Amino acid sequence: MNVYQTRKKYGLVWEEDNSREHFEFDNNQILPILEEVKSKRLNSKVKKQPNYLIEGDNFYVLSTLRFTHSGKIDFIYIDPPYNTGNKDFKYNDVFVEKDDVFRHSKWLSFMSKRLRIAKELLNDAGIIFVSIGEDEQANLKLLMDSIFGETNFIETFIWESIFRPSNLGKSVRRNSEYVLCYVKSKSDNFSLAQKSQEAQGEASLTQNNNKPRTLKFPGNYVQVKLGDGTYKKGKYGDIEMLDDLIVKDGFATKEFRINGKLKWKQEYLDSEVEKNVTLMIKTQSFIPYYRKDYQETVLRPTKIIPREVVGDVLSANAELKRIFGESVFDYPKPTSLIKYLISICDLPDNAVILDYFAGSGTTADAVLQLNHEDNGNRSFILVTNNENGICEEVTYPRVKKVIEGYSNNAAEKIDGLDGSLNYFRTRFLRKTLNSDEMKIRIMDNCVDLLCFKEAVFDELPITSDDFKVFSSGDKLLGIYNSLDYSGLKALKEVIDKQSHSWKKVYVFTFDNGGLNPNDFLEWNGIDLEPIPQKILEMIGDLSA
């Protein structure tokens, strides 16, 4: 076989040998593990899926997620470094300068390792959005084609991120960024879609019988002839508003419902030139207007994402200033952008959303807002390092404020949106040449990791050196972390006394083949899983 036959003929090629990250030299030395900082735990008033903030290098965290969340993630959004050469991208703790000959190779190596693990974490219908600028957009497209496959590419969206671009550009005035979108495995009927105007409003056109009924109106597409502000739910003459109506710049900012007798004016239907809904609230009447010839049942998102819909960098900065009273983070994304991207995907109500370049915590804010607006049960996993105190001083305080409420920079009290949060940090176990000794080290340090994997955190008050038991809702988790199996009988007695419908027990074993079934003949209705061999296999290999 000649050299031409073995050489890659098409695709992205970069200097990988000259672009190694520090962990590639640590592969045989350390194993990352997660531990919870319980003092930072936030409990929800209403039991929903738990949310997580993980402090640490995102490659190491993603490696742990291979064990805890492989195939479980529904939606990923990341806003990685744009690699402009203006001190926005660190590689091996050093900023990559614009004149670095390996600048693009370092960035591609950095992104490739993380995107490959991210793909493992997505379920088959999972979808990923990646924000990027001009410097690496073309390279990122080729890289993601190679990882996710060209057939799973959905779109490169263009976000109008700047209202008034600078005049300093040498050729053009750039006012946009990109958002690349891929699905892990595209089905034949896959599509992105916004909420249908007609599907939610058609009944209002056909049921002209003046009988009371409830109508739902989508946010962002509803023009309201009222002054900006919040109009509380309640009675407005014959009309009952079932949700608070928030109006900004003449548009409703979120979905709302009304109930009552609706009065129609055909002349408005005939002459309406906008496809959006127009609403007018008066003391004794509520008049919705629809364009008569608007027939679309599914509204596809456009390639260009206008700033009027999702905001821009200025509105993102304003959000942080409202929360902190000052600018605390460079180049944040607006929550409305993340909410928009989530809303155009057909996600389950309990979707798990991952952001492993969490920055200021915009994704968490967006998820909490959406859950508050539609009573959803989405959850988030945020990952960020703590460089310059970003995780402890910005990300965590922002999520905490949004959950619990705060006073903004105008001294106005903002109600909390409720939600839970478990805060984790990465730490490392030094690997040993003796495999049994390494397994004991993992056993002694894996309790928080297993609680994270199963989303069960409330420890039952049981005194035992051999095991721990945790509970959450209808879930019961046991962890037997002793070399001596004589305590298994006591653990089973504790488990049997509990009425939970879901019961799982992790049991330590040196045997790579798993547990001996003869040791667990009467453990009916309990899911048994051996540790720590699978932890070692899935987290221990840092050569992704």
Taking only the tens place, the pLDDT of each residue in 17-27 is: 666 777 766 66
pLDDT at 89 over 60: yes
Q: What is the pLDDT of residue 78?
A: 98
- Give the residue from 375, 396, 425 where a domain finishes: 425
Q: Does 15 fall in a domain?
A: no
- Enter the pTM of the model: 0.80
Which of 378, 393, 425 is the endpoint of a domain? Answer: 425
Task: Assess whether 130 and 276 both reside in one domain.
Answer: no
**Other CB atoms closer than 10 Å to residue 514's CB: what's the count?**
13
Domain membership flag for residue 33: no
Domain match, 188 and 235 both: no
For residue 205, the enclosing domain spans 197-289
Residues 246 and 275 in one domain: yes
Whichever domain contains 460, its CATH number is 3.30.750
Residue 429 has pLDDT above 90, yes or no: yes
Residue 467 CA to its chain's centroid (Å) = 33
Cα 317 to Cα 79, 334, 359, 367, 419: the distances in Å are 15, 8, 13, 18, 24
Q: How many domains does the chain have?
A: 3
What is the pLDDT at residue 57? 94
pLDDT at 257 over 50: yes
- On whether both 450 and 533 belong to a single domain, the answer is yes
Q: Which residue has the higher pLDDT, 379 or 30?
A: 379
177 and 92 share a domain? yes
Q: Do residues 530 and 476 both lie within one domain?
A: yes
CB burial string 351-367: b at 16+ within 10 A, e below = bbbbbbbbbbbbbbbbb
CA-angle at 14, arms to 332 and 82, nearest 5°: 10
Q: Helices (DSSP H) in 182-231: which residue ranges? A: 197-206
Same domain for 69 and 152? yes
* pLDDT category of residue 397 using cuts at 50, 70 and 90: very high
Predicted pLDDT at 67: 96
**Residues present in the chain in total:** 544
Better pLDDT: 503 or 287? 503
In a domain, 139, yes or no: yes
With a pLDDT cut of 90, the percent of the chain lying above it is 52
Q: Between the ranges 160-169, 188-197, 402-411, 433-442, where is the mean pLDDT highest?
A: 433-442
Q: What are the tens digits of pLDDT across the range 46-84?
A: 778 999 999 999 999 999 999 999 999 999 999 999 998
Same domain? 155 vs 102? yes
304 in any annotated domain: no
What pLDDT, on a 0 to 100 scale, did the predictor assign at position 544? 55
Q: For residues 43 and 277, what is the distance between their CA atoms, to the nearest angstrom?
A: 39
382, part of any domain:
yes
How far is it, in rounded angstroms, from Cα 332 to Cα 398? Answer: 13
Assign 203 a pLDDT band (cuts: 50, 70, 90).
very low
Confidence grade of residue 272 (pLDDT, cut at 50, 70, 90): very low
CA–CA distance, 356 with 79 (Å, rounded to integer) = 8
Q: Distance between CA 298 and CA 314 in Å, rounded?
A: 31
Lowest mean pLDDT among 162-176, 263-277, 522-536: 263-277
- Which residues neighbour 120 within 8 Å (Cβ) at sequence distance 6 or greater? 66, 70, 71
Q: For the chain, what is the radius of gyration of the CA atoms? A: 26
Residue 94 DSSP one-character state: E
Average pLDDT over the chain, rounded to whole? 83
Specify whether 174 is located in the same domain as 202: no
**Residue 51: CB partners within 8 Å, gap ≥ 6?**
364, 367, 379, 380, 381, 382, 399, 419, 420, 421, 422
Domain at 100, CATH number: 3.40.50.150
List the single range of 31-35, 268-272, 337-341, 433-437 with lowest mean pLDDT: 268-272
Q: Are 414 and 351 within one domain?
A: yes
Most confident by average pLDDT, 68-77, 326-335, 339-348, 401-410: 68-77
Q: Is residue 22 part of a domain?
A: no
Q: pLDDT at position 224, please?
A: 66
Secondary structure E strands in 372-466 = 379-384, 405-407, 413-415, 422-430, 458-459
Does one domain contain both 274 and 245? yes
What is the reported pLDDT for 36?
97
> Which of 394-419 are b and which e, b meaning 16 or more Cβ less than 10 Å from the residue's Cβ?
bbbbbbbbbbeebeeeeeeeeebbbb
Boundary (domain end) residue, out of 399, 425, 451 = 425
Mean pLDDT, rounded, for 176-205: 69
Greater model confidence, 184 or 292: 184
Q: Is position 515 within any domain?
A: yes
The sign of the CA dihedral 25, 29, 31, 36 is negative
Question: How is the beta sheet containing 475-480 ordered, strand by strand?
Answer: 458-459, 467-472, 475-480, 502-508, 527-531
For residues 265 and 367, state if they share a domain.
Answer: no
The larger pLDDT score, comparing residue 239 to residue 401, is at 401
3-state secondary structure of 374: helix
Note the pLDDT tens digit of each residue in 214-239: 556 655 555 666 677 888 887 766 66
452 in any annotated domain: yes
| Range of weakest confidence among 231-235, 383-387, 469-473 | 231-235
**Look-up: residue for tokens 């994304």?**
333
* pLDDT, tens digit (0-9, with 9 covering 90-100), for 132-160: 999 999 999 999 999 999 999 999 999 98
Least confident interval from 138-142, 158-162, 239-243, 377-381: 239-243
The whole-angstrom separation of Cα 379 and Cα 50 is 6
Average the pLDDT over 177-193 and give the result: 90
Task: pLDDT band for 244, please (50, 70, 90 cuts).
Answer: confident
pLDDT, mean of residues 513-537: 92
What is the per-residue pLDDT for 47?
79
pLDDT of residue 235: 75
